[in-house]
Amino acid sequence: MQRRIVGFAADAGGQARDAPNLGALPSGSTVPQFKVLVIGDPQTLLETTRLAWQAAEIMLEGPTAPDAIDLGRARDWAGVLVDIALVDDRLIDLLDAFEELRLPYIFIVVDTLLPSEGPRPYILGPDPADIQALLQALLNEGRKGPDGMLSGSHS
């Protein structure tokens, strides 16, 4: 079975929801525009990383263990970052629930666990380039429909 790296986003009625507008906050605002859930152990999210994301006007919630996730709060999150070190059967069931809820998720590694060879994974760290890469992936996938095409796509 091949596991998808990213899921989808939808409102409570199952309709695809618009991706958050990163430019909607007034200049100088310190209130994060949207939340991203982090699934991992306590070492998954360092305070320097949390502060860097907050500076980008994104609140990282967690890290939370997979068995402590309240799916009733799924509408609170623009997406989910999942520490790949935690993949097990319980997490696979949770990812299936995210897909049913059309909530985008991405597997990540923490910046201290970078592989020395091979493709560069999504990294949860304070580097602005890593933040941008994760946000772009979540936002792009959040606009895709069940056929994998971007909403409004004419191809």
Q: Is the pLDDT at 103 greater than 60, yes or no?
A: yes
Enter the DSSP assignment of 67.
Answer: G
Is residue 61 a contact partner of residue 77, using CB atoms and an 8 Å limit? yes
Q: Token pair of 82, please?
A: 């999942």
3-class DSSP assignment, residue 35 = strand
**61: nearest Cα among 4, 116, 124, 109:** 124
Over residues 4-16, mean pLDDT: 37
* pLDDT of amino acid 20: 40
Q: What angle do CA 15, 87, 37 make, to 5 degrees?
A: 45
Q: Over pLDDT 70: what percentage of the chain?
A: 63
Over residues 128-150, mean pLDDT: 70
Is residue 79 a contact partner of residue 9, using CB atoms and an 8 Å limit? yes
Over residues 130-137, mean pLDDT: 91
* pLDDT of amino acid 55: 92
Q: Over pLDDT 90: what percentage of the chain?
A: 43
pLDDT, tens only, 36-69:
999 999 989 999 999 999 999 999 999 999 989 9
* Consecutive H or E run containing 108: strand 105-110
**What Cα–Cα distance (Å) separates residue 106 from each residue in 6, 31, 55, 84?**
5, 24, 21, 9
Q: Residue 89 — very low, low, confident or very high, per pLDDT cuts 50/70/90?
A: confident
